[in-house]
Structure 1
Amino acid sequence: MTSNRSFTAIVPAAGIGKRMNRDLPKQYLTIAGKTIIEHTLERLICHPQIGRIIVVLHPQDSHFTQLTIAQSANIITVTGGKERSDSVLAGLAMVAADEQWVLVHDAARPCLHPDDLSALLQLAEQGEVGGILAAPVRDTMKRSNTQQFVEKTESRDNLWHALTPQFFPAQMLYQALSQAQQLKLNITDEASAIEQFGGKVKIVIGRASNIKVTQDEDLLLAHFYLTQLPQEINQT
């Protein structure tokens, strides 16, 4: 059953996409006539439980305001920082005090399926434990040494590819990220901040098609997956 509750989503988009070696940040590369970030934001806007989206931009970003979607009444922008945690904290600072939960989604994940998003949002109806979308590891996993020789094969049992969105009580996430920054901990996603301080993180099984565009070959794959998604976009 779908709840009538509405949630705020934070989309960190202050990265410059170093791994793709492009002059343009990867979120502004084009797939099927739209930028990656436009596809990503449309997947959120079209979901009936996402009421507002906070897009966190690089201080020198000159691209986002040129997009039609930037004029959406559902979207506000703030300035981010050097690290992902800086940007998420900047977004959290814009979340109203009475908002109990917040969603964080990568700007470069344009292929989010609405059913997976709905399943994740159901955590708010089940208690106070947040969670993440994740896909089970299917490949054989090898651990190497620093010279890239295989040391051993890891069991795939209970191993998951962490995806986004990630969905947590807003105050819990703010405190975890703030403490992690103060202690200079290595935080790679929101869940890792929660984990560092003993918080529980529920896994919600998501589609492996929810890829993050990080390499050139991901553009073609994302194009294919986008053609398989429901195309109805709520323009209100």
Structure 2
Amino acid sequence: MSISAIIVAAGSSRRMGFDKLSAPLLGKAVLLRTVEAFCAAPSIDEVFVVSPKERFADLLGCKFPKPVHQVDGGADRQDSVEKGLHALPQGTTIVAVHDGARPMIAVDAIEDCIQSARQYGASTLARRVTETLKRSDSEGFVRSGVDRDNLWFMETPQCFQVNVLRGAYMQVREKNHLVTDEVSAVELLGASTHIVESRKPNIKITLPSDLDMAAYLLNKENSPL
């Protein structure tokens, strides 16, 4: 019985204009910070980085306290996650799937999601919607408000009992669906995913300005009071 992490890091970074996962963030590559966080989580036994070999090469000189493996990515996110699932060793009971571009993930958030997946079968880190939401018409004019109670922004990690996620992706393939995260895949099974509230910064690096924000937040986190 073991617990593994799949770090999804196979994207092309088109919106950034450069490889965001190799970009330096306070002296360390974004992807390196992400992998280090999962290696620091007590429940994680090994880490599978789904990425091109060239990107994984940035990690080869690093010493990690746990096994870190490279897995070739697929044509899209769900293909990459499936490749990660195929790479898991026999006996893996829980898997945590995480965006490589979320380098600020807190170890306690990882642990909370894993514990939730143990109990409920599926869990996700998510952040409450706190801003005002409006619905528009097709021409871009505001037409009505949206009740934000019980609305959440999905984040990662998303953690699952392995048989649940594998069954979900079988459904995705059989029904020829395209999903953007693992919770969406599990929904096709009719299964419920338990929410673990995200209370610390867990920014996803998507635009160049996100690197600046992440650096600011890390500096603030590490500054003495």
Alignment-derived partner of residue 222 in structure 1 = 214
* Stretch moving more, 206-215 or 141-150: 141-150
1:17 aligned residue (13, 16, 19): 13
| Structure 1 residue 198 corresponds to structure 2 residue 190 | yes
User: Number of residues paired by the alignment?
Assistant: 222
Q: Which of 87, 100, 112 pairs up with 1:107? A: 100
What RMSD, in angstroms, separates the aligned Cα atoms of the two structures?
Answer: 2.1
Out of 136, 143, 152, the position equivalent to 1:160 is: 152
Q: Does structure 2 conserve the Cα–Cα contact (< 8 Å) formed by 1:40 and 1:111?
A: yes
User: 1:125: Cα distance to partner?
Assistant: 4.2
> TM-score scaled by structure 2?
0.90
Amino acid at match of 1:89: E
Q: CA deviation at 1:91?
A: 0.5
Q: What letter matches 2:48 in structure 1?
A: I
Secondary structure, in 3 states, of the residue corresponding to 1:185? coil
Alpha carbons 2:37, 2:105 under 8 Å: kept: yes
Match of 2:48 among 41, 48, 54: 54
CA gap of 1:44–1:179, structure 2 versus 1, over 3 A, is same
- Matched letter for residue 215 of structure 2: H
Where does structure 1 lack aligned partners over 5 or more consecutive residues?
Answer: 231-236
- Which of 126, 133, 145 aligns to 1:141? It is 133
> How has the CA–CA distance of structure 1 residues 52 and 29 changed in structure 2, closer, same or farther, with 3 Å as cutoff?
same
Write the distance in 2 (CA, Å) between the matches of 1:69 and 1:92: 25
Is the 1:13–1:55 Cα contact (8 Å) retained in structure 2?
Answer: yes
Contact 1:130 1:168 in 2 (8 A): yes
Tell me: CA distance 1:159–1:78, structure 2 relative to 1, closer, same or farther (3 Å). same
Residues 16, 204 of structure 1: alpha-carbon distance in 2 compared, 3 angstrom cutoff: same
Q: Report the alpha carbon displacement of residue 100 of structure 1 after superposing the two structures with TM.
A: 1.4
State TM-score, norm by structure 1. 0.86
Distance 1:179 1:71 in 2: 38
Please say if 1:88 is aligned against 2:66: no
How far, CA to CA, are the matches of 2:221 and 2:114 in structure 1? 19
Change (3 A) 1:227 1:45: farther
Cα distance in 1, alignment partners of residues 198 and 38 from structure 2? 16
Contact residue 2 and residue 93 of structure 2 kept, 8 A: no
Q: Secondary structure at the match of 1:50?
A: coil
Structure 2 residue matching 1:188: 3-state secondary structure = coil
Aligned twin of 1:97: 90
Q: Is the 8 A contact 2:106 2:200 kept in 1?
A: no
Asked if residue 118 in structure 1 is aligned to residue 111 in structure 2, the reply is yes
Instruction: Write the distance in 2 (CA, Å) between the matches of 1:95 and 1:88.
Output: 11
- Partner of 2:149: helix, strand, or coil? coil
Q: Percent identity?
A: 35
Say which SS state the counterpart of residue 167 (structure 1) adopts. Answer: strand
